[in-house]
Amino acid sequence: MKTKINFKVSVNYYQIIIYIKDFGIIIFFKDKAFLLIQKVIFQKELFKKENQKESVLQQKKKEENLKEFCKNTYIQFIFKINYFKKQSKDGLKNGYGEEVSSKGTQYKGNFINGKMNGEGQYTILNQYTYIGNFKDGQIHGFGHCVWENNKVYKGSWENNQMMGKGEFIWPDGKKYVGDFLYDQFDGFGIINWQNGNKYEGQWQQGKMHGKGKILTYKGDIIEGIWQEGVYQQQQQ
């Protein structure tokens, strides 16, 4: 979440900084501003310990300096920042951490140079939660996704799309196991319906397409060719 800093309101900047620090939130400012904030926090703590007092003019000067440095900059809240192992020279996040945005997204996991990489958990409010692997900020590798409507996918991903081998389960118990291409059933796959019927065979763009067979719950077998989900003829 990025928020423009407004210093026109009548507040105590020192208290705000200490408050944010105590709640485990880091602020990404421009270099000079961030260094000044660190200095202010240190001086504030020193003041508490030694019970020293600054003149009104000294305090006002520090506040004005802070206000000037932070003009037109933005802050980004990263919760539980203490989990980060390190940051690169340009301030990018590296290591394990948590990130929350104003758009309703939350990520818990590993960062490399500011991007989601490795294992993590990504949630979009009222949409889905994904647990698995990431690469360069995208869902990539093996992972498990649960949507708000209780649909579930477990399998391979590439660039935020279901790709490769996996299984998809509907809330009513229907289940597909097989190949995926660009978020659709594509290749060889098996689908089990809740009534006990089953289809084994080829798929294309989410539909039964090519050679396949249906095994009914009664034990009957319908084998042949399908085209865009419609049975065409018996296999020769």
Report the pLDDT value the prediction gives residue 84, as an integer from 0 to 100.
46
> Could you give the residue range(s) of every CATH 2.20.110.10 domain in the chain?
149-234
Percent of the chain with pLDDT strictly greater than 90: 51
Report the pLDDT value the prediction gives residue 54, as an integer from 0 to 100.
56
Give burial (CB, 10 Å; 0-12/13-18/19+) of 124.
Answer: middle
Q: Across residues 101-111, what is the average pLDDT?
A: 86
Question: Sorting pLDDT into bands at 50, 70 and 90, what band is 114?
Answer: confident
Q: Are strands 84-87 and 93-100 parallel, antiparallel or unpaired?
A: antiparallel
Residue 24 has pLDDT above 60, yes or no: no
Q: Across residues 205-209, what is the average pLDDT?
A: 96
State how far the Cα of 221 lies from the Cα of 145, in Å rounded to an integer. Answer: 33
**Cβ count within 10 A of residue 170:** 14
Residue 31 has pLDDT above 80, yes or no: no
Indicate the average pLDDT of the chain: 75
- Tokens 């980060």 sit on residue: 84
Q: Across residues 115-133, what is the average pLDDT?
A: 94
Report the pLDDT value the prediction gives residue 87, as an integer from 0 to 100.
55
Report the pLDDT value the prediction gives residue 178, as an integer from 0 to 100.
98
Question: Sorting pLDDT into bands at 50, 70 and 90, what band is 26?
Answer: very low
184-206 tens-digit pLDDT: 999 999 999 999 999 999 999 99
Alpha-carbon distances of 75 from 4, 17, 28, 78, 127, rounded to whole Å? 7, 12, 6, 10, 27
Among the listed ranges 38-52, 108-122, 154-168, which one has the minimum average pLDDT value?
Answer: 38-52
* 65 and 13 Cβ atoms separated by less than 8 Å: no
Sign of CA dihedral 60, 66, 72, 77: negative
pTM: 0.62
Q: Say which CATH class 149-234 falls into.
A: mainly beta
* 132 and 144 Cβ atoms separated by less than 8 Å: yes
